[in-house]
Structure 1
Amino acid sequence: MLGRLARSFATKRKTTQLKDMLHSNELQFIMEAHNGMSAVIVEEAGFKGIWGSGLSISAQLGVRDCNEASWTQVLDVLEFMSDRTSIPILLDGDTGYGNFNNARRLVQKLEQRGIAGVCLEDKLFPKTNSLLDGAKQQLADITEFSKKIEACKEQASDKDFVVVARVEAFIAGWGLEEAVRRAEAYRQAGADAILMHSKLSEPTEIQAFMKEWNRRHPVLIVPTKYYTTPTDSFREWGVNMIIWANHNIRSAVKTMQHTTKLIYENQSLVPIEKDCVSVKEIFRLQNMDELKKAEDKYLKF
């Protein structure tokens, strides 16, 4: 039975897969990826969805998470990720890279690349990362952002393309009442779900919002800062989806720093070889076997 359900899920359009996850009776999880290789790894681990993290994509390009990478450069990365995976990708689309017109063109281009949805945050372009200490977080006008959500939903040619509205009221220090007011406005504007964000080290803001929200619409959270909270607590509060938002890039950076330092200090590969995957494993993740079979078919004549 489980095998049949998994196959049925995999045959659905990526957009439908993501939408079904948001409306599942069980808490769902999506994992950060930032390039084609990490996207393959996320799918192979068993995750049913990928978070196209703005922080991680910009970091692997070596720039700041302040819209320094253009939206077309982000699209190039997403195309590699989408081509190599069969599970849906939800893009961290920042503010939509401008006004409603920029945002709806983004949706058009995401659909062309097989991306299942986009998450837009109610801040001003260019954005500042929400977890940056001391940074001023300027929020968009509620009506303007609601119209941006509406424009994106109307632009989507696939009715199941997901538009998530990310509420930054807690990040800006505006409190519960404003968070609920914004979330409700975006729900009425047509958002498929609400992402409620908090940078506190404990989940009091999220818990308060979930109680007031009372399961009226799907909710995603990003527990990067309040990571010690038991996952069952999120289930009890009615959270629909958890985003593990940046841990692949963070763990990769730690490993690369360690590896590079050891090679530099020892002038040898001996200390690190045992901790590296084989070159054959890289070939496997690159799907080299498919090319070998294709060469046998098309180059032998």
Structure 2
Amino acid sequence: MTLNKLFRQQLTVGAGHIMPGAGNALAARFIAAAGHKMMLVSGAAVANNYLGVPDLGLVSVTELAEHVAAIRESVDIPILADGDTGFGNAINARRMIRLLERAGANAIMLEDQTYPKRCGHFDGKDVVSTQEMVSKIKAAVDARHDPDLMILARTDSRAIEGFEASLDRARAYQEAGADFLFIEAPLTKEELLAIPKAVPGIHLCNMVIGGKTPLLPREELAAAGYSVICYANAALQASMLAMQNAMQHLAAHGSITGFESQLMMFAERQAALNADHYKELEKRYT
């Protein structure tokens, strides 16, 4: 069975799969090693890790494809790739789908913000018309080589047009051919739990630590009908805090002494990177 088919089979109403996000292959390795069944290549995490900038649409489509390809090499679980706005119009979205599919994505997310986009939990967002997004979805569906590659349609319209309008957009995107749906940044528990019932189908929700959406437990979200519960940047936020603490300790004390318990030791680090596999390859080819 291909990973595309596997991913389709996994996404059932109310499945409540936890989907962590990664911005590089190192984070992806830890996600897979922890036993997660699927993961997101987060556009925000790529921007933060790769460029050291906020999620403001500064990563190019080719840079994104390179990250997807590197992550695909490092893990064997299904990958949802964050394709942002498609990097332009419907023709650009079509090219983005082909690039990310070749890079190894098993599903691709397309959103209705204007280009360049910004983080879904930032203020100052704007969205394109429903019809323009419908055209992008149709282009994305036409562009995929494998019909089992899934297209996720995301709407950021809650912040601009209101909750009911975001539901209407989700219905339109589903009708246009999107395989599953994501309404970004609902503001209340009631809104979050109402979405899967208001628009029947496969839904993803995003738990942003410190963001606009209330954080709810997996069981409650699954019972509401969510198939995927995404923690797009939990790994990133954990690593950022750990790096900050370690570097501040080193600056303050001139040594890492006393902080060792907060660090992964050398042997553990090599095990996490599958170093023994490469030692075996060296023996085989030397």
TM-score (norm 2): 0.93
Once the 2 structures are TM-superposed, how far is the Cα of residue 282 of structure 1 from its aligned partner? Answer: 2.0
CA distance in 1, matches of 2:162, 2:263: 46
Tell me the equivalent position of 2:150. 162
- Given that 2:109 and 2:153 are in contact with CA atoms closer than 8 Å, whether structure 1 keeps it comes out as yes
Q: In percent, how many aligned pairs have the same letter?
A: 27
Once the 2 structures are TM-superposed, how far is the Cα of residue 166 of structure 1 from its aligned partner? Answer: 0.4
Match of 1:244 among 231, 239, 251: 231
Tell me the equivalent position of 2:180. 193
Tell me the equivalent position of 2:8. 19
Once the 2 structures are TM-superposed, how far is the Cα of residue 183 of structure 1 from its aligned partner? Answer: 0.8
Q: Which runs of 5+ in 2 are unaligned?
A: none
Tell me the equivalent position of 2:197. 211
CA distance in 2, matches of 1:60, 1:218: 30
Tell me the equivalent position of 2:159. 171
Once the 2 structures are TM-superposed, how far is the Cα of residue 236 of structure 1 from its aligned partner? Answer: 2.4
- Given that 1:176 and 1:208 are in contact with CA atoms closer than 8 Å, whether structure 2 keeps it comes out as no
- SS of 2:68's equivalent in the other structure is helix
- SS of 2:40's equivalent in the other structure is strand
- SS of 1:171's equivalent in the other structure is helix
Per-residue CA distance 1:218-241 (angstroms, 9 max, x = gap) = 111112244542332212221111
Once the 2 structures are TM-superposed, how far is the Cα of residue 209 of structure 1 from its aligned partner? Answer: 2.8
- Given that 2:79 and 2:107 are in contact with CA atoms closer than 8 Å, whether structure 1 keeps it comes out as yes
Match of 2:61 among 59, 68, 71: 71
Tell me the equivalent position of 1:8. none
The residue type equivalent to 1:145 in the other structure is: M
Per-residue CA distance 1:60-118 (angstroms, 9 max, x = gap) = 12122111121111222221111010001101211011111111111111121211111
Q: Which runs of 5+ in 1 are unaligned?
A: 1-11
1:129 and 2:109 equivalent?
no
Per-residue CA distance 1:180-199 (angstroms, 9 max, x = gap) = 21111111110000111125
CA distance in 2, matches of 1:288, 1:211: 47
TM-score (norm 1): 0.89
1:263 and 2:250 equivalent?
yes
Tell me the equivalent position of 2:89. 99
- SS of 1:195's equivalent in the other structure is strand
- SS of 2:262's equivalent in the other structure is coil
CA distance in 2, matches of 1:41, 1:227: 26
Quick check: 68-77 or 252-261, which moved more? 68-77
